[in-house]
Amino acid sequence: MNAPRPGRNVVGIGMTSQRTRARMVERLREQGITDVRVLEAMAGVPRHLFVEEALASRAYEDTALPIGFAQTISQPYVVARMIEILIQKKEPGKVLEVGTGCGYQAAVLASIATEVYSIERIRELLERARTNLRELRLKNLRLMYGDGAAGLEKAAPFDSIIVAAAAPELPQALLQQLAPGGRMILPLRDGAAQAQRLILVERSARGYTETALDPVRFVPLRVGKA
C-alpha cells in the first residue's frame, strides 16, 4: 500500500477550504440538485484529498480532472446527478460502484448508503484510492480488486448499482446482480456516433425498464484486470 502523502488534510485551506466546498454545493443547487442527502454528502467529503496536490486548487471546480492511468475524477455535478437519480424516492440500500478510480464517488456514496462495495480493475489505482480514503475511516465501504464489468457476484444482489465508465451495451452480469426493485445508472455508448448518455435501469417483477437521460462523457468500460 502506498505511504500517506504528507501535507494533505481533511479540512483544507484556501482553495481547498470548507468555504470553497460550500460554494461547490451552492453551485450544485443552482444546477438543479435538490436531494438533501446528496448535497450534505458532497459538502462533507473533501474532494481535494482525491486529486494530485498540483491540482488541489481546482478540486472544487465543476470539471473532470485526470487521476492517472488514462482515468478521471468526474465533475461534481455528474457525481451528484447520478447519485440523486439512483436514490430518488428510495433508500440506496446495498450499493455496488463499478470503477473506484480515486475513491471520491465511493466516499460520497458511503456517506449516504448503509453498505457500499466498490470494484476497480487497475490494481495500482485501487491502492491509491485506499490511501486517499484512509483518513475518512468509512467503515461501511469495501474496496475490491476485480473486473467491474463482471460485477461482484459474491456480494450480490445489490439494491443500487452505479457505473463510472461507458459501456457499449448493458452488462448482463450487472443486470443479474441487481435486486428486484433495484436501480442501476450507467453511461452507455452509441456505437455509431460514439455519443454517450446516462441510462437508468429499474428492475421489477416484470423485468427491466430503461430510461434515457443526460448526454455525458466518460472513459470506456474495460473488461478484465490491469
| Residues labelled as active-site residues | 74
- Burial readout 128-152 (b: 16 or more C-beta within 10 A, e: otherwise): bbebbbeebebeebebbebbbbbbb
Residue 65's nearest CA partner among 52, 78, 49 is 52
Task: Let me know how many helices (H) and strands (E) the chain has, helices first.
Answer: 6, 9
Residues 89 and 225: their CA atoms lie apart, in Å, by 35
Whether the CA torsion 46, 30, 198, 190 is positive or negative: it is negative
Stretch (H or E) spanning 199: strand 196-204
DSSP-derived letter for residue 3 is P
Cis before 168? omega within 30: no
Q: Grid coordinates 486517499 are at which residue?
A: 132
Q: Is the distance from CB of 109 to CB of 162 less than 8 angstroms?
A: yes
- Grid cell of 54 as nine digits: 498540483
First to last CA, the chain: 16
